[in-house]
Chains A and B, each alone.
Chain A
């Protein structure tokens, strides 16, 4: 039986590996499937996704956007209805390959690298990259003035590649489209380079911001389908062409204020996707060329984890002492702090700290916000561990210390805390390991640590598998020694009381 289980789990593991390693080959007749099913399933990311696809401000249960309009037109022509499937933008392509939906339409730039992974329809929009700066900006006239400046963009976009290739630009990479413009407005960064539709919606409408220079880097948005689904691609091409000729697409773009002269080339059927070659070259590079970036990310992860743990351990101690021995009012405050921080998600705390505080005039740098956010959150957990440690110490210890004439303060310092720490230590070490992994959450506040480095590299090279394994190994290499340490401490404490 045991033998059987072992073989079974081995086979199961192998098949899982194979499942990940090879893109799902679509069965023939993708088009027939859609028609039989009665709806077209399209993947996109509605989170902060205006004007592509986003919740209607007037009725947030409804999704609107120019791509919603296009999807509906496509479905209508196919004789079915359109259904959107929500997915993080970074991982739309892998999700498509996994078979989560029929197609992806979400401002996906047609690049040779992506073309090796999926099939693209003919372009449905020609995007350009628009630089946005603050109204009072005097030094940055166009993209060539960015040297030494902080420029924000979205993860995995062509704009990111352009900024990276300029060299000596301090590139800040965000996961959402709202945040870079927010940070630009309050001065955390100096410029934002993003696709024109995004700039038009978030940049142009902000009274504190303006466009700088002409748009650069013309490229195409295409609809991605799985390799092998040629029938679907051909049908989509036919429909897009029809919508272009009938003027329906133009009407949609005009409705969203996205029509410009560049779009004329759509009808001309431009197929040229050159201009990426130097950027693309790096995408086929051997894995080892990514190591410097990954190691830098790992370094930042370590830095943030160590700094926030140091804060957590100290602040946790202050909280515990206030709660156990402080004046009643302060003690209640400390208790409330602990309950509030343990009872709300870390993610929300980080958002409030970084994006919320500027509303009341406090603007923290990403590193400070990350360390404060993680440290203040974990302090609540450390405080609980110390409390458990203190309450595990027999009452007689404090009485013996007091009977020797010690003040309560000395007794706590010299007798109670050293023993409580010993009891709390394994838990604290475990929390350190957990914090290591939770540190990936700070990527939402524009910190490029290890996880963020991974999603950036993976989204632009689409090598989710091999990079993912490497990053997992890096995390493991950092946390496993801590685990060993925690276990050794635990065993030592079990054997002896000192």
Chain B
């Protein structure tokens, strides 16, 4: 469903990706791990067009995102990116809820404005989503009245309200207090169990082990190794993977 070939990306003079390849099939759960600064976020952001890249191709469900020009992109480039974003939802480390809108408004804004759905219908769907994450009593709250865990669950519901075919999670629990990590992970877990195509960047190794079909190890902009979790966690082949795992698992 998502196909990446020869992805090149640099920040100024500093080259980060020197030709990444990855194929993600429908319904697959891919977990990206690796030290901070290894390029996990940038990778996810390239997939839904928040970062431009210089070379290579990204194909999402037959829509091609080739090297997008950052300076003065053409109208059709922008429209292609938007079509990709409609298929791929994204959840950020910092939640990024809209602070001037209630929980309900946050969720129905895009379905109504972008998909042109009727307010009533969008409202009913949003309520169903909120019930699933057990936040129906917060419909009229504003983001600053919610805990971090609640905010992140709303952010997930907001992305799901667009009925995406795949979801990207960029360290969804990294800015949460430890006691709230569980509630967010269990929401993601139930989503995965429903068969959603998912790419997650995370530092939660236990969680990765539990949900991943495939684990991808990043280091300094390279994919150093990938494979099923049992293989990566108990029998890593690459030296860089061993170093990384020993460092996280010591903690």
Contact = CB atoms under 8 A, between A and B. Distances in A.
Interface residues of A, number: 22
A419 interface: yes
A489 to B, nearest CB: 14
Contact of B92 (A400, A406, A414, A496): A400
A141 interface: no
Interface in A16-73: none
A396 B92 contact: yes
A419 B99 CA distance: 8
Contacts of A405: 82, 85-86, 110, 114-115, 162
A496 B158 CA distance: 23
Interface in B72-118: 78, 82, 85-86, 89-90, 92, 94, 96-100, 109-110, 113-115
Given A394-B96, A400-B92, A400-B98, A414 B144 contact: no
B99 A497 contact: yes
Nearest to B111: A404
A422 B98 CA distance: 13
Contacts of A408: 78
B50 interface: yes
A414 B101 CA distance: 10
A399 B50 contact: yes
Interface string A393-404: 010110111111
A185 B13 CA distance: 66
Contacts of A422: 100
A404 B96 contact: no
Contacts of B143: 498
Interface string A404-440: 1111101000110011001000000000000000000
B130 interface: no
A418 B100 contact: yes
A407 B82 CA distance: 7
A408 B85 CA distance: 13
Contacts of A419: 98-100
B99 A404 contact: no
Contacts of A402: 49-50, 85
A406 B114 contact: yes
B194 to A, nearest CB: 20
B233 interface: no
Interface in B108-154: 109-110, 113-115, 142-144
Contacts, number: 66
B114 A403 contact: no
Contact of B98 (A397, A403, A407, A496): A397
B72 to A, nearest CB: 8
A405 B165 CA distance: 13
A481 B140 CA distance: 32
A145 to B, nearest CB: 63
Interface in A367-404: 394, 396-397, 399-404
A403 B92 CA distance: 10
Contacts of B109: 404, 414
B16 interface: no
Contacts of A394: 94, 96
B138 to A, nearest CB: 15
A326 to B, nearest CB: 12
Contacts of A404: 85, 89, 109-110, 114, 158-159, 162
Given A396-B92, A410-B114, A403 B99 contact: no
A402 B97 CA distance: 13
B139 to A, nearest CB: 16
Contacts of B86: 405
B98 A497 contact: no
Contacts of A397: 96, 98
B89 A403 contact: yes
Contact of B96 (A399, A407, A410, A414): A399
A498 B142 contact: yes
B48 interface: yes
A460 B137 CA distance: 71
A380 to B, nearest CB: 27
A403 B48 contact: yes
A196 to B, nearest CB: 67
A103 B99 CA distance: 67
Contact of B113 (A396, A399, A406, A496): A406
Nearest to A415: B98
Contacts of A399: 50, 92, 96
A338 B120 CA distance: 44
Contacts of B96: 394, 396-397, 399-400
B92 to A, nearest CB: 6
B99 A406 contact: no
Contacts of A407: 78, 82
B85 A496 contact: no
B150 to A, nearest CB: 16
A401 B89 CA distance: 11
Interface in B143-199: 143-144, 155, 158-159, 162
Contact of B110 (A406, A418, A496, A497): A406
Given A497-B99, A497-B144, A396 B110 contact: no
Contact of B50 (A403, A410, A414, A418): A403
Contact of B85 (A396, A403, A414, A497): A403
B159 to A, nearest CB: 7
Contacts of B114: 404-406, 410
Most A Cβ at <10 Å: residue of B85, B110, B115, B155:
B110
A498 B85 contact: no
28 contacts: A394-B96, A396-B92, A396-B94, A397-B98, A400-B96, A400-B97, A401-B98, A402-B49, A403-B48, A403-B85, A403-B89, A404-B109, A404-B110, A405-B82, A405-B85, A405-B86, A405-B115, A405-B162, A406-B114, A407-B78, A407-B82, A415-B98, A419-B98, A422-B100, A497-B99, A497-B144, A498-B142, A498-B144
Interface of A: 394, 396-397, 399-408, 410, 414-415, 418-419, 422, 496-498
Interface of B: 48-50, 78, 82, 85-86, 89-90, 92, 94, 96-100, 109-110, 113-115, 142-144, 155, 158-159, 162
- 10 A-B pairs with least C-beta separation: A400-B96, A404-B110, A396-B96, A403-B90, A405-B86, A405-B114, A405-B85, A497-B99, A498-B100, A498-B99
